[in-house]
Structure 1
């Protein structure tokens, strides 16, 4: 899975004023990310507001990204859930043409034990025709997939090839990196600590902010992978204020405001999410205006 080393962008789903999908804007974002140096794209992740999309809308997003990408970079499909049986059935029946791997979030809401998380992912790995990246994001799932569980899955399930780690805990990430199998990919899911994780032995990030600043962010990641630490941190610190702002009032409300500031997409989100307030929008607009000065 060398193609998943570097920067992956967790694409938003842009909406029009009537909250239908803005396929033209989505195609622009695909081009913008790829032209800026992003190595791969993640479709229908959390940042895409996937929980609010109908089955037909999900298919429209997939179709739009496949056509816009036109085979230029690898694609990863977000496909997870908290009903293991239902997820397994979808894995057995879905057409995965055009995708290289799936990203599957740890079960949310149910709050399974570590054994429950292990058995869930074991069933997913056995059913999936594509390599699986498991995804730990305790802030959304209400449960933390512990390092021992990750290592157990990495050793027991050959189809599980990597982890998107978004617990925001660098020590936990380093424990996984220290004990993982050689070829198992540890990918940051946290923009703010992506560079430290890479320097500790991670292979890159699946980023939110990177889709709006693809040239700078992907260059930071490449510099980190090449151990050009000072140059990488210079870019990191240039982006930190924006990273804080885009998550201040929730994802993807913040990143959609960045795209609005850049003139690429509007900042409409679906309830229960709401757009950022005027104060934060103004601060984001100012950051975007000054970024390349």
Structure 2
């Protein structure tokens, strides 16, 4: 699964001022990432505001990204939820011809036991026509999927190929990396920890900031994969402030403020999210000016 080693980016869904999807900006963002070193694209993740995208919009977003991508980069599609049967129904009804893997978030709100996590993903694995990347993000789901559960799933189901681990927990990364099989990928979902994870044996990152600064961020990850820690950390320290800024209020309002500054899309978000505050926008703007 070399195609998911390196820097993946969790694409935002750009909106027009009337909050309709801005497909022209989406095309621009896809090309900007392809031309600047991103290794794969993730559609309809949290950063894409999947919670407030309609089914019809989702289908159109997949179509537009696939058309613009023209097979140049692997595509990962977010298909997850806390109703296992609904996730399976979506997986089996979608046209996944252009999709290389599924990113499926751990069930949120319901707070299942570890056995509940296991059975949820088992059911999805048995139904999925595509490889699956597990997504553990306890800050959003209210429950941590423990390394033992992740590794049990990896052992038991061949099409579960990776985990996007986003618990912002260095120790949990180490436990996954220590005990995983050689071909199972541990992908960082934490931009701030990504380099350390890669240097410890991780496969890379699914990044938020990466889509705005793909050249710098993907170079940092590549240096990390090559074990060139000093050169990689030079870039890490250069980007550290902006990584903190984009998560200061909410995601994706922060990253959309960066993309606005770079002229890639507007900073519109759908309620209940609101745009970055003026204070945060100023910090982001100053950072980009000085980069």
| Structure 2 residue aligned with 1:88 | 88
What SS does the corresponding residue of 1:17 show, helix, strand or coil?
Answer: coil
How far apart are 1:93 and its partner, in Å?
2.1
* Alignment partner, residue 35 of structure 1: 35
Alignment of 1:1-293 (within 5 A): 1-291=1-291
The unaligned stretches of length 5 or more in structure 2 are none
Provide runs of 4+ in structure 1 moved above 4 Å. none
RMSD: 0.6
| Separation of aligned partners in 2, 1:90 and 1:19 | 25
Q: Aligned equivalents of 1:290 and 1:64: distance in 2? A: 34
Structure 1, residues 49-74: CA drift from partner, whole Å, max 9, x if none?
01101111111111110111111100
* Secondary structure in structure 2 of the residue aligned to 1:30: helix
**Whole-Å separation in 1 of the counterparts to 2:10 and 2:141:** 18
Aligned residues: 291
Q: CA-to-partner distance for each residue in 1:8-57, whole Å, 9 max, x for gaps?
A: 01000000000000000001110111111000000000000011011111
Secondary structure of the residue aligned to 1:192 is coil
Worse-superposed segment, 181-190 or 91-100: 91-100
What is the DSSP-based 3-state SS (H/G/I as helix, E as strand, rest coil) of the residue aligned with 2:104? strand
Equivalent position SS for 1:135: strand
1:94, CA displacement in angstroms? 1.6
